[in-house]
Amino acid sequence: MKVAYLGPQGSFSEEAALRYFADQQNDWHKCDSIVDVLEAVEEGIADKGIVPIENSIEGTINITADGLLRHDLFVEAEIIFPVSLHLLTLKGAALDEISEVWSIVPALAQCRDFIRKSKVKSRQFDSTSAAAQAVKNQERKDVAAIASKYAAEVFDLQITKSGIQDNANNHTRFVVISKENTEVSEPKTKTMLLISPTEDYSGVLSSILNVFTALSINLTWIESRPTKKQLGTYHFFVEAQNGLHEEKMNKAITILQAFGHDVRVLGSYNTTKL
């Protein structure tokens, strides 16, 4: 099986993929961006992909949400991955030498307090591992990467300061995606829906949420993304704490469709904590 993930070597996505698929024989396909992962799966270059969709500090990863809007893909698993961010430097570098930190945008955002208090500049990279690799290749002691312990091991870098994220209880939620909508042969604990109202009217979101409330369905994630057709019109991602095998989940979908909303089932799945 070929699995696509956001590279290069040493990224959180790689670590999550290696740990989740540890019991299988896999051919790995490293991608330069989250969009590339989604396209690789849709085009059949990879059988499955793993992408981050939400962080406990920064919230939804919009690139992934927008990608699920554009591509005909399905979610078959959810992975909760603990994230600890460290300041990686060349060996022998001191903390007071650092004038600039490099990383991917979400990681920089998750370490906003540290960056502000340290009064250092920040530079954006496509991944935490790309930043770590750049620190290694450029051989500069005045720059550091914000990345994982795994990246420090991969690129033989020094952890100059540990756990610099704003919140110690930092987790990233990944989803495993595939091109085929796998049949729900056993009970699942969650279902993700993409709801696109066919009409824009006052209280449209409230009317959608009332359906789930009436059926005692707990929602664990709600995200709105613009339709890009008209200002103020949105698609809604809704994740319910019920599997598609449950009668009330299917009843909710039927009611929403009866109200004239377009409802796309993105997947029914279980959660794995790494």
Question: What does the pLDDT look like over 66-88, one tens digit per residue?
Answer: 999 999 999 999 999 988 999 99
Q: What pLDDT was estimated at residue 54?
A: 93
- Residue ranges of domains in the chain, CATH in brackets: 2-83+170-178 (3.40.190.10), 86-161 (3.40.190.10), 190-273 (3.30.70.260)
What value does the mean pLDDT take over residues 83-106?
94
Q: Is the pLDDT of residue 263 over 90?
A: yes
Q: What pLDDT was estimated at residue 33?
A: 87
Question: What does the pLDDT look like over 188-244, one tens digit per residue?
Answer: 999 999 999 988 777 889 999 999 999 999 999 999 998 877 777 889 999 999 999
Q: What pLDDT was estimated at residue 185?
A: 67
What value does the mean pLDDT take over residues 95-123?
94
Q: Is the pLDDT of residue 112 over 90?
A: yes
180 band by pLDDT with thresholds 50, 70 and 90: confident
DSSP states of the chain:
-EEEEE-STT-HHHHHHHHHTTTS--EEEEESSHHHHHHHHHTTS-SEEEEEEEETTTEE-HHHHHHHHHS--EEEEEEEEE---EEEE-TT--GGG--EEEE-HHHHHHTHHHHHHHT-EEEE-SSHHHHHHHHHHHT-TTEEEEE-HHHHHHHT-EEEE---SS-SS-EEEEEEEESS-----S--SEEEEEEE-SS--TTHHHHHHHHHHHTTPPEEEEEEEE-SSSTT-EEEEEEESS-TTSHHHHHHHHHHHHTT-EEEEEEEE-EEE-
26 band by pLDDT with thresholds 50, 70 and 90: confident
Q: Is the pLDDT of residue 106 over 90?
A: no
